[in-house]
């Protein structure tokens, strides 16, 4: 079964581990950049803005951010574009593909392949969402942009969380199989 990213067989697991560690580091980096975005109107920072969904909710979040927070939102979104989207798409797609090769049964393997490909869509959805957020940061809250950003974010998060769950399940199954293997 074809997957979007094929890692060298011999180094597949170490490369995957390195990608997942880089993803954790990238997540921590963006989280630190986003600290000024945590306010009474956006207790989850940029995620609340991504999922605002309405002009009223987006306007309330923007009103709670001072100039420094808005600058932080722009900076965080820049790094999301150039670093985080490519990183999480590659890492999670590779994890799903890795799991697909190791899962028992064709259905579970096919699910992993589908999730590996779906991660490309998650990245595209994130880019569309980011464009809507940047436009609202520049021009103010907008009903259409807030709704589009929220729809893209919700679908992106669904794909990402499903892929993480699949990767964790594959890793747990492999670990359980290794524990059941008799000692030599």
Q: Are 127 and 135 in contact (CB under 8 A)?
A: no
Taking phi over 0 as left and psi of -120 to 50 as alpha, with beta for the rest, 23 belongs to alpha
Res. 21 pLDDT band, cuts 50 70 90: very high
Rounded average pLDDT over 5-34: 94
Question: 152: buried, middle or exposed (CB in 10 Å: 19+, 13-18, 0-12)?
Answer: buried
Could you give the residue ranges of the DSSP H alpha helices within 65-139?
Answer: 67-79, 85-102, 106-139
Res. 4 pLDDT band, cuts 50 70 90: confident
Which residue in 119, 167, 158 sits closest to 20, CA to CA? 167
Q: What is the rounded distance in angstroms from the CA atom of residue 28 to the CA atom of residue 97?
A: 25
Percentage of the chain beyond pLDDT 90 is 86
Query: Residue 76 pLDDT more than 70?
Result: yes
Query: Residue 41 pLDDT more than 90?
Result: yes
Q: Are 112 and 97 in contact (CB under 8 A)?
A: yes
Rounded average pLDDT over 117-122: 98
Query: Residue 181 pLDDT more than 80?
Result: no
Q: What is the pTM of this model?
A: 0.93
Query: Residue 182 pLDDT more than 80?
Result: no
Mean pLDDT score across all residues of the chain: 95
Rounded average pLDDT over 96-111: 92
Which residue in 37, 126, 46 sits closest to 83, CA to CA? 126
**Eight-state DSSP code of residue 173:** H
């Amino acid at each position: 079964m074809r997957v979007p990213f094929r890692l060298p067989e011999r180094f597949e697991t170490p490369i995957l581990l390195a990608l997942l560690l880089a993803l954790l580091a990238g997540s921590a980096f963006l989280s630190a950049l986003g600290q000024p975005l945590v306010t009474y109107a956006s207790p989850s920072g940029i995620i609340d803005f991504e999922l605002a969904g309405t002009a009223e909710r987006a306007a309330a979040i923007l009103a709670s951010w001072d100039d420094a927070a808005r600058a932080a939102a722009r900076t965080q979104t820049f790094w999301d574009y150039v670093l985080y989207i490519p990183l999480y798409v590659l890492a999670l797609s590779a994890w799903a593909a890795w799991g697909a090769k190791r899962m028992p049964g064709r259905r579970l393997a096919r699910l992993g392949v589908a999730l590996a490909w779906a991660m490309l869509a998650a990245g595209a959805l994130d880019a569309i969402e980011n464009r809507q957020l940047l436009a609202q940061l520049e021009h103010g809250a907008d009903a259409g942009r807030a709704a589009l950003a929220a729809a893209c974010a919700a679908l992106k998060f669904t794909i990402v969380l499903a892929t993480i769950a699949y990767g964790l399940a594959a890793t747990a199954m492999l670990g359980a199989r290794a524990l059941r293997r008799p000692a030599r």
